[in-house]
Amino acid sequence: MAVKEFKAESKKLLDMMIHSIYSNKEIFLRELISNASDAIDKLYFKSLTDHSVTTKKEDYQILLELDKANRTLTLTDNGIGMTKEELEENLGTIARSGSLDFKKDNKAEDIDIIGQFGVGFYSAFMVASRVTVISRAFGSDTAWQWESTGAEGYTITEADKEDVGTKIIMVIKENAENENYDEFLDEYNLVHIVKKYSDYVRYPIRMEREKTRAKERPADAGEDYKTEYETYTELETLNSMVPLWKRSKSEVTDEEYNQFYKDKFYDFTDPARVIVSRTEGTATYNALLFIPGHAPFNYYSRDYEKGLQLYASGVLIMDKCADLLPDHFSFVKGIVDSQDLSLNISREMLQKDGQLKLIRNSLEKKIKNELNAMKNNDREKYDEFFKSFGRQLKFGCYESYGANSDLLKDLLLFHSAKENKLISLQEYVDKMPEDQKYIYYAAGDSTERLAKLPAAELVLDKGYDLLLLTEDVDEFCLQVLRHYGEKDKEKEFKNISSGDLGLESEEEKKAAEEASEANKDLFEAMKTALDGKVTAVRLSTRLKSHPVCIASEGPLSLEMEKVLNAMPNSGDMPAPKSEKVLELNASHPVFETLKNLQANGETEKLGKYANILYNQALLIEGMPIEDPVAYAQAVCELLK
């Protein structure tokens, strides 16, 4: 059976091309400039082997001309040009890319050609009612003119053109109801579009720009002479051409990097760190990344959008490519330029391809190493950085059930009670005495208060350090990490308000067990009086000078209960509660009082005291008490 070829309704296809591919009209200029740059690349490439090419490297240019009166915008290049046949083939056939063919024919060479789909040119019809292309191919004496008003087809006629290259004249559409086409006749807007998308096109993009200057003061000007101004035009190069990220780091000064960062990312302070990365091999890309010196005001809000600017062969594809940055490094700003991306036809989006993932993984490692280096070699700066972005790193550790915790754990800092400064987990572990079983921490609102907690006193007296955690994410982060240290010598994290702190010797433990047994009835009576508020009352091993404290049992600590209950939108879910235990200090005189009440059968009074002590313990922990009025009254009773 004969296989028939598909037919396409070319009018409709063109219409689709023009109106459906691109979401943004202004990219027509990006497409035409990219074509011009490709055409120059091709001629330049030819000149390397063909000495009949007389254009010098410095003479290549792309010229933009504006004629507001006639509503035309003209783009001229002195690239390779097109023959009559090429005009027919390339501009008369939708989805035919001469550039892709060129790339295939010269595969071995390192040429950075942009075009590949064979549709970009038609984007001109988004803004132009008529497009005229006058082109003279290199090596040809004749020039040809291709002209079209869009869907109706095109004409090709012989034309006059002195030099090799291509001139594209667009008649810009009249404004329509909801469309302002005049903006494509506005000099400032055109400059803006060129800078936005084509700043790093390798050849100069020039335009005659109108400027004003003061006229020279006449020699005979009197005292009352007022400066006069005149307008003049000047050919200005609009693009900066050489991307900073393609220059080697040794060639670029710190000032240049800093200025580039501030201009590009609208920051007023220098970046804390600059990362220049160039990779060949599995992921081919150039990247220039910055770690900001401080967090933007909206960083920890929903408004903040992470992402890196993505360029393909020097042309801007995406302003914020989120897929290039993991959430835990969302503060990083910068640029990635790669030739190997699978762009979709509009060049506005990427196919989710492996290449992107490779780049992302490689950047993640680079960022981590840079942060590590900053932590080890420039601690003051790292501390500053951590104050701004540490919270994000901790969230990163906690997120996805700790999937990134191995990557991030060495970047974390916590407040050391002993040293009264931020330290890393490694620094904590390095200073641990031989006999210390756990990495101790206390979680709450302020370091000052935490350091005064009854159990903190005990840990510090032993000569052990204590991490004071004051951010809501801290304890969740440590819970995900579970332990830290060299393999097989890992030390578990231990909240000083929860469970056995492992501070006692075997004899001390035994004595405590015996004392507990002896006071069993007292504890039962107090538990009953507290009416379900605690799961147990027992003797404490974490108290020195205070009479009582609240400890928790199970996975949820007191501080985590506080954090979870303070979260907005927890909905109708019942507030999570930690399992609380009231602990008593057997060496405190209050304990004697309690024992006496129990022995004398003064159950009611014992119940009152139990409640006062329970509330007191809550207050010490920084927890709210259920009935402050009842508590105040009970205390007043005692004072009578």
Chain contacts with ligand ATP (rule: CB under 6 A): 31, 35-36, 39, 77, 79-82, 90-91, 97-100, 115-121, 166
Closer residue to ligand ATP (CB): 33 or 558: 33
Closest CA to 445 of 415, 406, 424, 408: 415
Closer residue to ligand ATP (CB): 82 or 325: 82
Give the DSSP H or E segment for 424. Answer: strand 421-424
Q: Which residue has the tokens 């000078």?
A: 545
* The residue type at 85: E
Closer residue to ligand ATP (CB): 153 or 628: 153
Closer residue to ligand ATP (CB): 167 or 562: 167
Give the DSSP H or E segment for 233. Answer: strand 229-237
Least Cβ distance, residue 313 to ligand ATP (angstroms): 11
Cα three-residue angle 80-317-196, rounded to 5 degrees:
80
Least Cβ distance, residue 68 to ligand ATP (angstroms): 24
Least Cβ distance, residue 91 to ligand ATP (angstroms): 6
Closer residue to ligand ATP (CB): 33 or 456: 33
Buried b (16+ CB within 10 A) or exposed e, 28-58: bbbbbbbbbbbbbbbbbbebeeeeebebeee
Euclidean distance between CA atoms 290 and 33, whole angstroms: 29
What tokens appear for 303 in the block? 């408004």
Cβ-proximal residues to 147 (8 Å cutoff; 6+ apart), any chain: 130, 131, 132, 133, 154, 155, 156, 157
Distance of CA 165 to the CA centre of its chain: 43
Distance of CA 89 to the CA centre of its chain: 44
What tokens appear for 153 in the block? 């087809």
Least Cβ distance, residue 325 to ligand ATP (angstroms): 26
Distance of CA 603 to the CA centre of its chain: 62
Closer residue to ligand ATP (CB): 103 or 328: 103
Least Cβ distance, residue 327 to ligand ATP (angstroms): 32
- Is the CB of residue 198 less than 8 Å from the CB of residue 205? yes
Q: What is the DSSP letter of 197?
A: H
Euclidean distance between CA atoms 366 and 325, whole angstroms: 12
Closer residue to ligand ATP (CB): 87 or 582: 87
- Is the CB of residue 415 less than 8 Å from the CB of residue 427? no
- For residue 628, how many other CB atoms are within 10 A of its CB? 11
* The residue type at 580: K
Instruction: Give the burial class of 567: count Cβ atoms within 10 A of its Cβ; 0-12 exposed, 13-18 middle, 19 or more buried.
Output: exposed
Least Cβ distance, residue 119 to ligand ATP (angstroms): 4
Euclidean distance between CA atoms 423 and 449, whole angstroms: 19
Closer residue to ligand ATP (CB): 36 or 451: 36
Closer residue to ligand ATP (CB): 116 or 362: 116
Least Cβ distance, residue 26 to ligand ATP (angstroms): 15
Paired strand residues for 75:
64, 168
Sign of the C-alpha dihedral, residues 314, 320, 322, 327?
A: positive
What tokens appear for 622 in the block? 């920084």
Least Cβ distance, residue 120 to ligand ATP (angstroms): 3
Euclidean distance between CA atoms 591 and 527, whole angstroms: 15
Closer residue to ligand ATP (CB): 167 or 494: 167
Closer residue to ligand ATP (CB): 146 or 484: 146
Q: What is the DSSP letter of 625?
A: P
Least Cβ distance, residue 78 to ligand ATP (angstroms): 10
Least Cβ distance, residue 59 to ligand ATP (angstroms): 16
Least Cβ distance, residue 93 to ligand ATP (angstroms): 9
What tokens appear for 487 in the block? 């393999």
Least Cβ distance, residue 342 to ligand ATP (angstroms): 12
What tokens appear for 330 in the block? 């969302």
Cβ-proximal residues to 493 (8 Å cutoff; 6+ apart), any chain: 438, 439, 441, 478, 479, 481, 482, 483, 484
Closer residue to ligand ATP (CB): 131 or 526: 131
Closer residue to ligand ATP (CB): 76 or 309: 76
Least Cβ distance, residue 34 to ligand ATP (angstroms): 6
Cβ-proximal residues to 499 (8 Å cutoff; 6+ apart), any chain: 551, 552, 553
- For residue 485, how many other CB atoms are within 10 A of its CB? 16
Closer residue to ligand ATP (CB): 27 or 618: 27
Least Cβ distance, residue 31 to ligand ATP (angstroms): 6
Instruction: Give the burial class of 438: count Cβ atoms within 10 A of its Cβ; 0-12 exposed, 13-18 middle, 19 or more buried.
Output: buried
Closer residue to ligand ATP (CB): 35 or 578: 35
Q: Considering only CA atoms, give the Rg of the chain.
A: 37
Least Cβ distance, residue 37 to ligand ATP (angstroms): 9
